[in-house]
């Protein structure tokens, strides 16, 4: 493992439901799961059907400690959790995090409610890994590992959703899934999260034409992603959370159109890996104080 690289690997890039067939071979059919390696630290975001191959790879690579963050708990983001094999290995430690249900349900309650009879043959008690759970509130700044800072924000999606800004080694990668934009407006929460980012992974489920009949579904478009990245000075845009009916040819056409509008745009694919080298930054002055994002009630929190 290279301690000077920020790696992003897409294990699942579809929204709503997994798909298979000849027309989905290039971009893949697994639902949402993204791995980020911040030097020696491994982070996973969501546990859609892409979590199954992700878990197999982590075990094969000998990774025995990592953090799993949930954006929210709709089926396409958690359906792979019971088939995430590291959960059953007693030599592995995993910390799970969520904030979209703050004040309504804890991370432990969320996971336990999903993984139990009659929805699944067995309950969480069969998992032999050392599993920790952490709760936070949108707006909190998370410090899951040394040198890793994660800023959070509330997205516009039915039932709630969390956007993440991951900072490590002078690099910034943002995960903005799922969210619905308001026509003619740029979401200030999203703009704050993606400011100056190296990569923005953005919910591009629909086209602008499709959005006319998809209002209220809680999703966005690549066109809005381009506008946000341009306004925030972000350098890369990953078209993500592909509609399950979108074929390879349709996604390739969308990717070509987006690339013409924004040079850093591309359509994410299952198995795709991106690497960013750590930047050499000057040491901060000992007199300089860290700033923290305010939470909804105006208070500031940092969660470790």
**Other residues' Cβ atoms within 10 Å of the Cβ of residue 67:** 22
CA–CA dist 238, 264 (Å, integer): 8
Asked if residue 161 lies in contact with residue 71, where contact means CB atoms within 8 angstroms, the answer is yes
Which domains, and CATH codes, for the chain?
A: 5-269 (3.60.15.10)
Asked if residue 44 lies in contact with residue 67, where contact means CB atoms within 8 angstroms, the answer is yes
Q: How confident is the model at residue 102 (pLDDT cuts 50, 70, 90)?
A: very high
Four-CA torsion 252, 255, 260, 265, nearest 10 degrees: -150
Asked if residue 148 lies in contact with residue 38, where contact means CB atoms within 8 angstroms, the answer is yes
CA–CA dist 107, 84 (Å, integer): 17
CA–CA dist 78, 245 (Å, integer): 20
Question: Look-up: residue for tokens 């959005």?
Answer: 211
Average pLDDT over residues 137-144: 98
pTM: 0.92
| Mean pLDDT, the chain, whole residue set | 93
What's the number of CA atoms in the CB half-sphere (13 Å) around residue 151? 20
Average pLDDT over residues 102-129: 95
Residue from 256, 67, 216 nearest 148 by CA: 67
Average pLDDT over residues 137-164: 97
Average pLDDT over residues 21-43: 98
Task: Name the percent of the chain lying above pLDDT 90.
Answer: 91
Alpha helical stretches, state H, 105-240: 107-114, 188-194, 208-211, 222-232
CA–CA dist 269, 264 (Å, integer): 15
């Amino acid at each position: 493992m290279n301690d000077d690289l920020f790696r992003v690997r897409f294990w699942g890039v579809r929204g709503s439901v997994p798909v298979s067939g000849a027309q989905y071979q290039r971009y893949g059919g697994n639902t949402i799961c993204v791995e980020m390696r911040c030097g020696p630290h491994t982070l996973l975001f969501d546990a859609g059907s892409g979590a199954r191959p992700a878990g197999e790879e982590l075990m094969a690579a000998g990774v025995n400690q990592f953090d799993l963050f949930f954006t929210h708990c709709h089926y396409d983001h958690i359906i792979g959790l019971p088939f995430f094999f590291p959960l059953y290995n007693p030599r592995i430690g995993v910390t799970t995090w969520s904030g979209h249900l703050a004040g309504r349900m804890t991370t432990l309650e969320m996971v336990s409610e999903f993984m139990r009879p009659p929805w699944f043959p067995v309950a969480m008690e069969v998992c032999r890994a050392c599993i920790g759970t952490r709760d936070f509130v949108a707006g909190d700044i998370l410090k899951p590992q040394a040198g890793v800072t994660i800023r959070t924000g509330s997205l516009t999606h039915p039932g709630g959703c969390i956007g993440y800004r991951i900072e490590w080694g002078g690099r910034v990668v943002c995960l903005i899934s799922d969210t619905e934009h308001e026509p003619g407006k740029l979401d200030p929460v999203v703009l704050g999260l993606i400011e100056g980012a190296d990569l923005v992974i953005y919910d591009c489920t629909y086209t602008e034409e499709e959005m006319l009949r998809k209002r209220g579904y809680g999703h966005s478009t690549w066109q809005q992603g381009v506008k946000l990245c341009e306004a925030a000075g972000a350098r890369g845009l990953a078209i993500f959370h592909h509609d399950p009916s979108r074929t390879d040819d349709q996604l390739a056409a969308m990717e070509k159109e987006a690339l013409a509008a924004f040079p850093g745009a591309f359509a994410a694919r299952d198995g795709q890996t991106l690497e960013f080298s750590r930047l050499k930054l000057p040491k901060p002055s000992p007199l300089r104080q860290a700033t923290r994002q305010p939470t909804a009630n105006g208070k500031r929190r940092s969660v470790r």
